[in-house]
Amino acid sequence: MPASPPRWLLLPVLLAAALAGCARHADGGAAGGRVVVSYWEKWSGFEADAMQAIVDDFNRSQDRIEVRFLPVSEVDTKLLLATSSGNPPDLAGLWSENIPDFSEKGALTPLDGGLAAAGLGPEHYIPVYWELCRHRGFTWGLPTTPACVALFYNKRLFRAAGLDPEHPPRTMAELNSMSRRLTLVEIERGGHRVRVSFADLTPAERDGHHFTLVQIGHLPQDAGMYTSAWGFWFGARYYDGDRRILANDAGNVAAYQWLRDTSEAYGVDNLRDFGGSFGIQQSGQTPFLGGFEAMVVQGPWWPNFIQKYSPGLEWGVAACPAADGVGGGAPLTVAQTDVIVIPRGAEHPREAFEFIRYLQRREVAEKLAASQQKFTALREVSEGFLAHHPNPAIRLFISLARSPGARALPRLSIWHEYNAEMSVATERVLNLSYTPAAALAEVQERVQWKLDRLERRWDAVGSQRMAEWRAYDNW
């Protein structure tokens, strides 16, 4: 495959795309006497349709504002370009991990003044999601549809392996044991090709890797989250909240040793061949949806894809177990959320905020969440929402989000760079070219250098930047 072109060569193309999108909403700012509020959102398909229905409801509910909804691919890149060019949309849908970076780059409008005037504050939201919308003492957006992750499992495969389909793994030891039992291989025995459980291989057969994987119990690298986030289930911290990266924390080393154990058990080549037989993620060609993987970590959106690509699949879901002694008995999860923000320089920030405030109504948030098979970030939820929700596991996800064990990615403007370095470490560990300690030591050194550089710059400009934020938070 040819190498990708340098990013700077793509900037003119991306800028043209961003400005073209802006041109679609620069229509004079009024339609039939209404103020036109342009809204870029990253969603497509059924998720975009769900928000379009909410936008239509809002537009019908009053006669002063018309929100115009536009699905935009690569919305984060295009929004930065549009904001720097001085022609952003009035609203944009991002991910919570964008907030630290975008706010420090001056691309967002602080919302605290508007929230205070509207009577909205932390008491209205599940704590982890409120905190995900904040950075350096300011609130930069509000949740649209939040999420967290859990362990989905295939009950039919459990039964076929002689496991109780109503007893998913509750400890990390059970997860590992069940995964080995649920992993099926083909191997030559007595001149015949036979299919057996990995747990039934002899030590010599395991060590030689003279088998072909045909079904997997659980692959840690197949996760509906950042693979690097597995450290949370082993008690890892990623950042001390001040100036020190903790990539080589003992919990991360333990998590990466767990990843390495998978490659050592099944064989790098066998895993590569197994993965190469499947297609793109979130399609019928993924191992879990195809019936060739017994357990996978995913979010509340996953039943949408089960219904679409594997409607006959008999599934269950449970909290993903943590290592012994981690979490103090509280179930662990990783929480993230889609957020809606007002870009810096938006033409109609007050009207845009009125739509954001509309989204915080319980009935509106619940309609959007139900349409996407997710839940809301609000503390209060109606019994009707729970009783009629299309996702039968929605109560579990809400309980995980409210758990003291709910974890969030570090609030760092360099998180994507950090995660990229962790991804390199993941590949090195999985292909057995690095030990976990060596791979994570490199991440620690490289990301700490980047954070030190960032903090030196913040020391020089931070007080001025925060003064600008306070002045701009003028509602």
b or e along 10-22 (b: 16 or more beta carbons within 10 Å of the residue's beta carbon)? eeeeebebbeebb
The domain defined by 7-147+335-403 carries CATH number 3.40.190.10: yes
Query: Nearest CA to 21 among 77, 101, 98, 103?
Result: 77
Has residue 1 got a pLDDT over 50?
no
CATH topology match: 7-147+335-403 vs 150-319+418-453:
yes
Give the mean model confidence (pLDDT) for residues 359-370: 98
What separation in angstroms does the CA of 357 have from each of 64, 120, 360, 447? 15, 9, 5, 37
Q: What is the DSSP code (8-state) at residue 475?
A: -
Task: List the structure tokens of 121.
Answer: 């504050």
Each residue's pLDDT tens digit, 215-235: 999 999 887 778 899 999 999
Q: What is the pTM of this model?
A: 0.90
What separation in angstroms does the CA of 315 have from each of 281, 318, 393, 429? 18, 10, 10, 31
Rounded CA separation 43/374 (Å): 14
Query: Nearest CA to 474 among 109, 134, 141?
Result: 109
Each residue's pLDDT tens digit, 25-83: 444 456 679 999 999 999 999 999 999 999 999 999 999 999 999 999 999 999 999 99
Please, what is the end-to-end C-alpha distance for the chain in angstroms?
Answer: 52
Q: Name 142's bridge partners.
A: 340
Whole-number mean pLDDT of the chain? 92
The per-residue pLDDT for 31 is 66
Each residue's pLDDT tens digit, 6-26: 444 444 444 544 444 444 444
Q: Name 407's bridge partners.
A: 334
Rounded CA separation 313/290 (Å): 9
The domain defined by 150-319+418-453 carries CATH number 3.10.20.30: no
Give the pairing of strands 293-298 and 211-223: parallel
> Contact 428/442 with Cβ under 8 angstroms?
no
Q: 3-class DSSP state for residue 18?
A: helix
Give the mean model confidence (pLDDT) for residues 245-265: 97
Each residue's pLDDT tens digit, 409-442: 999 999 999 999 999 999 999 999 999 999 999 9
Higher pLDDT, 285 or 71: 71
Sign of CA dihedral 440, 442, 447, 449: positive
Has residue 282 got a pLDDT over 70?
no
The per-residue pLDDT for 25 is 46
Rounded CA separation 5/416 (Å): 20
Has residue 362 got a pLDDT over 50?
yes
The per-residue pLDDT for 283 is 61
The per-residue pLDDT for 280 is 56
State the burial class of residue 450 (Cβ atoms within 10 Å of its Cβ: 0-12, 13-18, 19+).
middle
- Residue ranges of domains in the chain: 7-147+335-403, 150-319+418-453
Q: Name 92's bridge partners.
A: 40, 341
Q: Name 149's bridge partners.
A: none
The per-residue pLDDT for 22 is 47
Within 83-173, strands assigned E span 91-95, 134-135, 138-139, 142-148, 150-154
Phi-psi region of 345 (alpha: psi -120 to 50; beta: other; left: phi over 0): left
